[in-house]
């Protein structure tokens, strides 16, 4: 029996490609940059499996071209880059990589919270520029973390991992999620539910861990930002389009909130220009899950899902 043919859209870990090669004919997996539309369209025409990264937009046109495709394994927990409803209609399996990146992403969330609250990047730049002339009472005064209110938007795996860490920092934890936990679960996790507007008014630090879908698009817009405290810090490590970047840039510029930390952007890799010139926002290049251990687990999970789907098994992480 001939081996299934798989295409990997971008550079991938050799260990994961080796695993894939044990069961499939593998093409791709070397490109440094995301493929162009034309390259992707031509690559999918005669393959059985597709291994994608979140930068690959897999829409109807691509799916229609892939007339042999059985499975798309996305190497990410988010899968808003894929038209899952259409894949389902066409019987194409779609998988993601949940669980393995929870802790690393929660760690990075805290790195951003601390960086913004304590002005770490600004202080680092200042020190490197040779501007440090000795201890000063009011040098780089930031925001207190201990005892503050943390507001978590989206209380899935990552939101909860952020909450666990928050207990160590002595924060009061509030969350908003379309699905409220039971009173027992809330008591166990030491968290309190608040409707979104109340959470935005109450929290000193607001961090987003929701998935992107039509109901979360621009969930944080000008009106919602206007509810936040003047000292508030907004963190987004989920998906860029959940925040209206233009409205956020305006609020940061006008000192309407204290600061923001972003790992994701509306038009990634483009960043709303105004943000680049602001000192009260810390900007990262979508590295929430970027530890070697976690990224390797994501790659291996994606490969395992792909091979399961190709061999007729139900993949572990099927999203439909
Ligand atoms: C994901 O997996 O969806 C993250 O954005 C990248 O790790």
Query: What's the CA gap between 218 and 259, in Å, rounded?
Result: 18
CATH of 5-100+292-310, one of 3.40.190.10, 3.40.30.10, 3.40.50.720, 1.10.230.10: 3.40.50.720
Query: What's the CA gap between 40 and 52, in Å, rounded?
Result: 10
Query: How many alpha carbons fall within 13 Å on the CB side of residue 33?
Result: 5
pLDDT at 257: 98
Which positions are annotated as active-site residues?
Answer: 239, 268, 286
Nearest to 235 by CA among 212, 259, 251: 259
| Ligand 1 centre distance from Cα of residue 312 (Å) | 26
Neighbouring CB atoms inside 10 A of 291's CB total 16
pLDDT at 83: 98
The full set of domain ranges for the chain reads 5-100+292-310, 102-283
- What's this model's pTM, rounded to 2 decimal places? 0.97
Instruction: Give 217-250 pLDDT, tens digit per residue.
Output: 999 999 999 999 999 999 999 999 999 999 999 9
**Domain at 102-283: CATH code:** 3.40.50.720
Instruction: Give 12-62 pLDDT, tens digit per residue.
Output: 999 999 999 999 999 999 999 999 999 999 999 999 999 999 999 999 999
Neighbouring CB atoms inside 10 A of 107's CB total 17
Transcribe 45-86 into DSSP letters.
TT-SEEEE-TT--B-HHHHHH-TT--EEEESSS--TTB-HHH
pLDDT at 69: 98
Q: Is the model's pLDDT at 291 over the cut of 80?
A: yes
Instruction: Give 148-205 pLDDT, tens digit per residue.
Output: 999 999 999 999 999 999 999 999 999 999 999 999 999 999 999 999 999 999 999 9
Is the shortest distance between the CB of 34 and ligand 1 below 6 Å? no
Q: Put the strands of the sheet holding 149-153 in their side by side order.
A: 191-193, 172-176, 149-153, 205-208, 233-236, 259-262, 281-283
Query: What's the CA gap between 162 and 158, in Å, rounded?
Result: 6
Q: Is the model's pLDDT at 6 over the cut of 80?
A: yes
Is residue 101 within 8 Å of 77, Cβ to Cβ? yes
| Ligand 1 centre distance from Cα of residue 14 (Å) | 20
Instruction: Give 54-100 pLDDT, tens digit per residue.
Output: 999 999 999 999 999 999 999 999 999 999 999 999 999 999 999 99
Query: What's the CA gap between 130 and 126, in Å, rounded?
Result: 7
Query: How many alpha carbons fall within 13 Å on the CB side of residue 100?
Result: 21
| Ligand 1 centre distance from Cα of residue 298 (Å) | 9
Is the shortest distance between the CB of 78 and ligand 1 below 6 Å? yes
Is residue 274 within 8 Å of 253, Cβ to Cβ? yes
Is residue 41 within 8 Å of 61, Cβ to Cβ? yes
Out of 105, 112, 264, 265, give the residue to mutate to test ligand 1, the one with the largest number of ligand atoms within 8 Å of its CB: 105
- Tokens 């000292």 correspond to 231
Confidence of residue 310 (pLDDT cuts 50, 70, 90): very high
Name the residue at shortest CA distance from atom 6 of ligand 1: 76
| Ligand 1 centre distance from Cα of residue 8 (Å) | 17
Q: How far apart are the first and last CA of the chain?
A: 29
Out of 96, 288, 296, give the residue to mutate to test ligand 1, the one with the largest number of ligand atoms within 8 Å of its CB: 288
**Alpha helices, H only, 5-46:** 14-21, 37-43
Mean pLDDT of 265-281: 97
CA distances from 184 to 71, 173, 181 (A): 39, 15, 8
Position in ligand 1 atom list of the atom nearest CA 105: 7
Is residue 256 within 8 Å of 225, Cβ to Cβ? yes
């Amino acid at each position: 029996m001939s081996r299934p043919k798989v295409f990997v859209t971008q550079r991938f870990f050799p260990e994961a490609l080796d695993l894939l090669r044990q069961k499939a004919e593998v093409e791709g997996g070397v490109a440094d940059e995301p493929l162009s539309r034309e390259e992707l369209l031509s690559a999918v025409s005669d393959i059985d499996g597709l291994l994608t990264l979140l930068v690959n937009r897999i829409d109807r046109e691509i799916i229609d071209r892939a007339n042999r495709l059985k499975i798309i394994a996305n190497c990410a927990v988010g899968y808003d880059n894929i038209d899952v409803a259409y894949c389902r209609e066409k019987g194409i399996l779609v998988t993601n990589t949940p669980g393995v990146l929870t802790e690393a992403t929660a760690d990075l969330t805290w790195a951003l919270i601390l960086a913004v609250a304590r002005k770490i990047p600004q202080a680092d730049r200042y020190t490197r520029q040779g501007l440090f002339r000795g201890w000063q009472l009011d040098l780089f005064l930031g925001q207190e973390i201990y005892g503050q209110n943390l507001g978590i938007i989206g209380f899935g795996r990552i939101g909860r991992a952020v909450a666990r860490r928050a207990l160590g920092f002595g924060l009061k934890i509030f969350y908003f999620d379309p699905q409220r936990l039971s009173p027992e679960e809330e008591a166990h996790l030491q968290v309190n539910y608040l409707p979104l507007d109340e959470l935005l008014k109450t929290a000193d630090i607001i961090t987003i861990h929701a998935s992107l879908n039509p109901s979360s698009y621009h969930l944080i817009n000008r009106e919602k930002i206007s509810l936040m405290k003047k000292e508030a810090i907004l963190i987004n490590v989920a998906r860029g389009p959940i925040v209206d970047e233009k409205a956020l840039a305006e609020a940061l510029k006008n000192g309407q909130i204290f600061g923001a930390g972003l790992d994701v952007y509306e038009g990634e890799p483009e960043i709303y220009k105004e943000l680049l010139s602001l000192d009260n926002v810390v900007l990262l290049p979508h590295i929430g899950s970027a530890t070697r251990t976690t990224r390797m687990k994501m790659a291996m999970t994606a490969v395992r899902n792909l091979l399961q789907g190709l061999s007729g098994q139900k993949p572990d992480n099927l999203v439909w």
